[in-house]
């Protein structure tokens, strides 16, 4: 059978081999008669019988996934102190790769080793696959050629090199053997910098690797990001990854809300159901009563059942009403949680802190004093903190509707239309006299907020929700995008954009928050955009800039109102609303008409005047929305305009004298539509004439 499988692996390539290997790994767990749900659950302290406590963590995970089998599988010995042979290590690497659902390989012929006859049958397929993938290089043979030497022990440097190749993290390794590979292993997280020479996990590059050290290394390989690009020499910040870890989708963190062990089910606080394997490796957990109400890390086996759970220590949780968060100086984590009672709960390094299910980072200023706190402890320090309150939408202000104060000096009220993402989803919040409003940490009147402010709000009620508190931040960068690229941090890969701000000599580099990261691409190169930053300086929204200080632009007047002791003018500019202060006594063209707007620094409409009439009529020949170009014709003249910064408005009145309609996107124009311009060569705006209805 193994010989037949070996021929299959050679014939159809590595992808088929990985699939067969995955199926073989599941045979012991998919025997006939296995029920769809476990009928009762047996708890085990550890997967193997002979792994010390500190080593058991790594062996438990790899045993659950079938990467490390031990002598007799579940419950048998793992022999953690014994060395690993080259054949054994190749098999474990092949099992690691078989866990990747997207793994595929080229149809390459296998590499023949001079000592191929000495490779055990149980390792033949794995060795062939690893050789074809370039993971195994072999060593010079005594009679020439290349040998594998399956029975020799694998060294720490060899193991590191093979895992780096398996993960695609071996690009441009420099520094010689084995130091270059060891340095790369630290760069990519395969080796931990906190492991000293007296630690059992310390890998000797030229010394034999033990089974315990192998479990440590393959565990790290399971959760390492892959396809490492070291970037330019001498520029470590350029290093990046492009592929998530193999183990990214195999497990997760959950708060257990209910357990039915007779049916083999756990229900999480997020509303998900976890199906349990008949035997559950759960160190320190003896039954249902020790799971409910606890935060756990769970891992599925190869057939999709949760077979491993790591629960936090069984110390009584701390509960209470929220007081404050003590944040690290760099904002990367929480040092402690302070309750209303004054009790201070210190947080362990790497503690999970969640607000309404959303993990840190979030703005601590938006947490209400009435929020409920539950802290799970381990060794007296919180390893998981859950803060629950009514609601915390995060968004960008798209439009504002102000209402005058009901009495002199009273607060301005109204509504916020908020964009909840670049996809266009919106929600409306009511601002009442009791709403607390802060701008960059300072209390302000509602009339001082502006469109494109990034904000967080604590709310209550049904739609439209009432805002209890609004925290807004106004930090923006407007300029030309010089470059867009993908970078890597401890949190994983993310986008960065380099921008040359208007009027500046030096570029700035910005990172994106999850709020808008999914909308970033290299297509932003060369565009002039406004990037709105959140409290941590990350881009939370970006789009075409509004009217900027300088020359006049033509806008549509929407409304003028006195609020908060100021005259405010709201205009439409290419489909987006913008509000400006208006000098006292300045005249404003009527709502619905077009006006020439001069913007002064500080957001003041320094000058307003009626727009020139659009008297020149033409017909659309073609539209290039990507490049912002419009080709027009009139009589025998045909010409092309770059209209990227020219607003287009629909009108019902062919003369263009009456109020204009909604903004028209360039991409909505079609051939044959009539338009009216102020100037054929450089129009201030374009009126799109609506066709007369058919009789």
Provide the b/e sequence for 342-359 (b: ≥16 CB within 10 Å).
eeebebbeebbbbbeeee
- Looking at mean pLDDT, say which of 186-195, 246-255, 273-282, 375-384 comes out highest: 273-282
pLDDT at 271 over 80: no
Query: What local confidence, expressed as pLDDT, does residue 490 receive?
Result: 52
Q: Is the pLDDT of residue 216 over 70?
A: yes
Which comes out higher in pLDDT, residue 165 or 197? 165
Residues 571-586, mean pLDDT to the nearest whole number: 89
pLDDT-derived band at 451 (thresholds 50, 70, 90) equals very high
Which of 4-18, 55-69, 201-215, 491-505 is predicted with the least confidence, judged by mean pLDDT?
A: 4-18
Backbone phi, psi, residue 29, to 5°: -110, 0
Q: Is 183 a residue whose pLDDT tops 70? A: yes
- pLDDT tens sequence across 302-342: 888 999 998 876 677 899 999 999 998 877 789 999 999 99
Q: What angle do CA 586, 587, 589 make, to 5 degrees?
A: 145
pLDDT tens for 647-682 read: 999 886 655 556 688 889 898 898 999 999 999 989
Q: Which fold has domain 475-543?
A: OB fold (Dihydrolipoamide Acetyltransferase, E2P) (2.40.50)
Instruction: Provide the β-strand partners of residue 508.
Output: 499
The DSSP symbol for 638 reads E
For residue 21, the model assigns a pLDDT of 35
Looking at residue 110, what is its pLDDT? Answer: 64
> Which CATH class, in words, describes the domain spanning 250-311?
mainly beta
Residue with tokens 């040998």: 147
Whether residue 575 has pLDDT greater than 90 = no
Q: Point out which residues pair with 686 in neighbouring strands.
A: 648, 677
Q: What does the alpha-carbon distance between residue 161 and residue 181 come to, in Å, rounded to a whole number?
A: 6
Where is 481: in which H helix or E strand? Answer: strand 475-489
What is the three-class DSSP state of 117?
helix
pLDDT of residue 314: 66
- Residue 492 banded pLDDT, cuts 50, 70, 90: low
Q: Which carries the bigger pLDDT value, residue 36 or residue 251?
A: 251
Q: Does domain 616-689 have CATH number 3.40.50?
A: no
Q: How far are the Cα atoms of 557, 591, 600, 671, 688 from residue 653, in angstroms, in the given order?
A: 17, 16, 33, 20, 10
pLDDT (tens digit, 9 = 90+) per residue, 361-404? Answer: 777 877 877 788 988 887 788 888 888 876 556 789 999 999 98
User: pLDDT tier at 95 (50, 70, 90 boundaries)?
Assistant: very high
Q: In this predicted structure, what is the pLDDT of residue 423?
A: 56
Higher per-residue pLDDT: 79 or 145? 79
DSSP for residue 105 = -
- Give residue for tokens 């009790």: 343
> Does this model's pTM top 0.85?
no
**Residue 106 pLDDT > 60:** no
Find the mean pLDDT for residues 580-605: 87
In the prediction, which pLDDT does 369 show?
Answer: 76
Give the residue with greater pLDDT, 299 vs 348. Answer: 299
Closest CA to 272 of 243, 248, 300, 238: 300
Instruction: Give the C-alpha separation, 473 to 455, whole Å.
Output: 6
Average predicted confidence (pLDDT) for the chain: 83
Q: Does residue 92 contact residue 326 with C-beta atoms inside 8 Å? A: no
Q: What is the pLDDT of residue 9?
A: 37
Report the distance separating Cα 675 and Cα 435, nearest Å: 46
| Closest CA relative to residue 471, chosen from 511, 444, 508 | 444
Answer for the pair 512, 534: CB distance below 8 angstroms, yes or no.
no
- At 439, the pLDDT band (50, 70, 90 cuts) reads very high
Give the contacts of 241 (CB within 8 A, at least 6 positions apart): 188, 225, 226, 227, 228, 229, 488, 492, 493
CA 422 to chain centre: 14
What's residue 338's pLDDT? 95
Q: Looking up tokens 């362990």, which residue turns up?
A: 348
């Amino acid at each position: 059978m193994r010989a037949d499988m070996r021929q299959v692996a050679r014939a159809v390539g590595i992808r088929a081999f990985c699939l067969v290997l995955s199926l073989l790994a599941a045979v012991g767990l998919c025997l006939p008669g296995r029920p769809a749900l476990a009928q009762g659950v047996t708890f085990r302290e550890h997967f193997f019988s002979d792994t010390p406590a500190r080593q058991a963590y790594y062996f438990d995970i790899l045993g659950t996934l079938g990467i490390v089998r031990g002598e007799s599988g579940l419950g048998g010995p793992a022999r953690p102190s014994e060395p690993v042979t080259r054949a054994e290590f190749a098999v474990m690497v092949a099992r690691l790769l078989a866990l990747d659902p997207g793994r595929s390989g080229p149809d390459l012929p296998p590499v023949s080793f001079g000592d191929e006859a000495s490779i055990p049958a149980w390792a033949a397929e794995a060795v062939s696959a690893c050789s074809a993938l370039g993971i195994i290089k072999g060593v010079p043979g005594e009679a020439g050629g290349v040998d594998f030497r399956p029975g020799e022990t694998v060294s720490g440097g060899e193991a590191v090199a093979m895992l780096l190749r398996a993960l695609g993290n071996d690009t441009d390794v420099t520094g010689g053997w084995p130091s270059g590979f060891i340095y790369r292993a630290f760069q990519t997280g395969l080796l931990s910098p906190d492991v000293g020479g007296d630690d059992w996990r310390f890998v000797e590059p030229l010394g034999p690797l033990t089974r315990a050290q192998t479990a440590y290394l393959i565990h790290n390989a399971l959760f390492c990001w892959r396809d490492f690009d070291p970037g330019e020499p001498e520029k470590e910040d350029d290093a990046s990854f492009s592929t998530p870890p193999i183990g990214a989708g195999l497990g997760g963190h959950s708060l257990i809300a209910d357990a039915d062990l007779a049916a083999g089910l756990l229900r999480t606080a997020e509303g998900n159901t976890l199906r349990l394997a008949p035997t559950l490796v759960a160190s320190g957990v003896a039954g249902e009563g020790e799971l409910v109400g606890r935060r756990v890390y769970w891992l599925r086996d190869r057939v999709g059942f949760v077979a491993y759970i790591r629960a936090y220590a069984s110390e009584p949780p701390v509960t209470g009403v929220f007081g404050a968060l003590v944040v690290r100086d760099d904002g990367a984590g929480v040092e402690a949680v302070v309750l209303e009672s004054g009790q201070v709960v210190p947080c362990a390094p790497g503690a999970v802190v969640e607000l309404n299910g959303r993990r840190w980072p979030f703005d601590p200023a938006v947490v209400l004093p009435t929020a409920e706190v539950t802290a799970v402890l381990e060794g007296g320090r919180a390893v998981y903190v859950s803060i629950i309150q009514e609601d915390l939408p995060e968004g960008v202000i798209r439009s504002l509707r102000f209402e005058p104060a009901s009495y002199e000096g009273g607060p301005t009220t109204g509504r916020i239309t908020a964009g909840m993402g670049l996809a266009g989803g919106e929600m409306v919040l009511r601002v009442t006299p009791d709403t607390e409003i802060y701008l960059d940490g300072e209390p302000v009147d509602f009339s001082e907020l502006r469109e494109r402010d990034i904000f967080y709000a604590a709310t209550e009620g049904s739609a439209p929700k009432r805002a209890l508190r609004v925290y807004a931040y106004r930090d923006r960068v407007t300029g030309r995008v010089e470059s867009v690229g993908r970078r890597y941090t401890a949190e994983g890969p993310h986008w960065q954009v380099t921008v040359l701000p208007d009027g500046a000599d030096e570029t700035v580099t910005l990172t994106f928050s999850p709020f808008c990261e999914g909308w970033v691409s290299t297509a932003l190169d060369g565009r002039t955009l406004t990037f709105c930053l959140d409290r941590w300086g990350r881009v939370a929204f970006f789009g075409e800039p509004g009217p900027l200080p300088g020359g006049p632009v033509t806008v549509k007047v929407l409304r003028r109102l006195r609020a908060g002791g100021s005259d405010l003018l709201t205009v439409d500019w290419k489909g987006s609303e913008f509000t400006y202060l208006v000098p006292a006594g300045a005249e404003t063209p009527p709502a619905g008409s077009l006006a020439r707007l001069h913007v002064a620094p500080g957001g003041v409409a320094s000058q307003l005047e009626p727009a020139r009439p659009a008297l020149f009529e033409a017909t659309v020949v073609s539209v290039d929305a990507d490049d912002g170009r419009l080709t027009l014709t009139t009589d025998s003249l045909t010409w092309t305009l770059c209209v990227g910064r020219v607003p287009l408005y629909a009108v019902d009145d062919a003369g263009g004298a009456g109020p204009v309609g909604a903004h028209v996107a360039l991409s909505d124009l079609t051939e044959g539509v009539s338009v009216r311009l102020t100037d054929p060569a450089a129009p201030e705006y374009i009126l799109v004439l609506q066709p007369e209805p058919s009789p």
